[in-house]
Amino acid sequence: MNIAYFLLPKNSVAYLYDDCTFRQGLEKMRHHGYTAIPVISRDGKYVGTVSEGDFLWRLLSKESDTLTAYSMKDMEQLEIRDILRGNSYPSVRITVTMEALLQSAMNQNFIPVVDDLGTFIGIVTRKDIIRYFAEQKDAAERPPLRKIV
């Protein structure tokens, strides 16, 4: 099965550029109600995924000895690339198998999809993957159709 069938294209997905500010990132996530959002560079390459936890960890980082509140000015100085903590949402290529996609979906809400050059082209949601395998299971359990003459 080609995963392009399940692909939510980039133009339908909320994402952040890695040079967006901390504040812009929070506002976009809040607006869409997401807990994680893909991050791309200005040239379209997938950089990683930022989550609510990344924002929280940055606010509570050891760099600040006291738990003082960040001002809006402070939030404008930080960029999304400054708070990314490793890539816990690895991307897959469009040619990935459904079984490999299922393995990724066990740990991720969505799977970022890139082309052969690493350019972000969209996501596949966990919901769509589960639906696909549930339909496969239902189809296998149905009795075969018989021809009536």
pLDDT in tens, 23-73: 999 999 999 999 999 999 999 999 999 999 898 888 877 555 555 566 667
For residue 149, being part of any structural domain is answered with no
Number of domains in the chain: 1
| Non-local CB neighbours of 81 within 8 Å, separated by 6+ positions | 18, 19, 39, 47
Asked whether residue 148 is domain-assigned, the answer is no
Assigned domain for 146 exists: no
| Residue 109: inside a domain | yes
Q: Is residue 63 part of a domain?
A: yes
Q: Model pTM greater than 0.75?
A: yes
Contacts of 95 (CB under 8 A, 6+ apart): none
Domain residue limits at 108: 3-141
CATH of the domain at 70: 3.10.580.10
